[in-house]
Amino acid sequence: MARLGVLALQGGYEAHAKVLRALGHEVIEVRTAGALSQISGLVLPGGESTTHLILLERFGLWLALEAFVREERPVLATCCGLILAAREVVSPAQRSFGFLDVRVSRNAWGRQVDSFEAVADGEGRLPLLFIRAPRIESVGPGVEVLETLNGEPVLVRQGRVFGATFHPELSGDLSVHVRVFGDART
């Protein structure tokens, strides 16, 4: 069993915590830099990216998160988390960490009323749930595309950082979390 953290400043962090607990992991809600020293992996959840940016600064988490990722501990960044992890953000442009060498366009799959479910291309048939999701417009040479939808990247990995444009925590499928953090029940 690993002790994993979920950034719990705003947004959909509880759904991720529930999935991680179902996989047998201990979960800490991360709201301080000190909490990062207690965990071996982290989820950057969905939410509203500009609000996350304000709260990351207010709680002094920016530098601590950069240090956490440099230590090559696993990170799963979903939806808003992917926006924060991207090298470049457009529509509109905003500050981001650059953990993943990707360019993303905010809310590019549509507004809240345009939310939809789909299934990833390929044999795995990964269920996808999009809610005001970003689109990955381009990936750098060090980024591995793990899943696509209609040929577009929707799940990527660079080193130990994974980025999803969709919400795997809401799909009922645990495979993305298992891929990143493992299954402590086995």
| Catalytic (active-site) positions | 79, 167, 169
- Alpha helical stretches, state H, the chain: 13-22, 33-36, 49-58, 62-70, 80-85, 175-181
Place of tokens 């696993």: 74
What is the Cβ-side half-sphere exposure of residue 12, based on CA atoms within 13 angstroms?
19
What's the CA angle centered on 158, arms 119 and 99, to 5 degrees? 110
Q: What are phi and psi of 116, to 5 degrees?
A: -155, 165
Q: What are phi and psi of 108, to 5 degrees?
A: -75, -15
Q: Do 126 and 179 meet the contact criterion of CB atoms below 8 Å apart? A: no
Q: Going by C-beta distance under 8 Å and a sequence separation of 6 or more, which residues neighbour residue 21? A: 27
User: Cis omega (within 30 of 0) on the bond before 92?
Assistant: yes
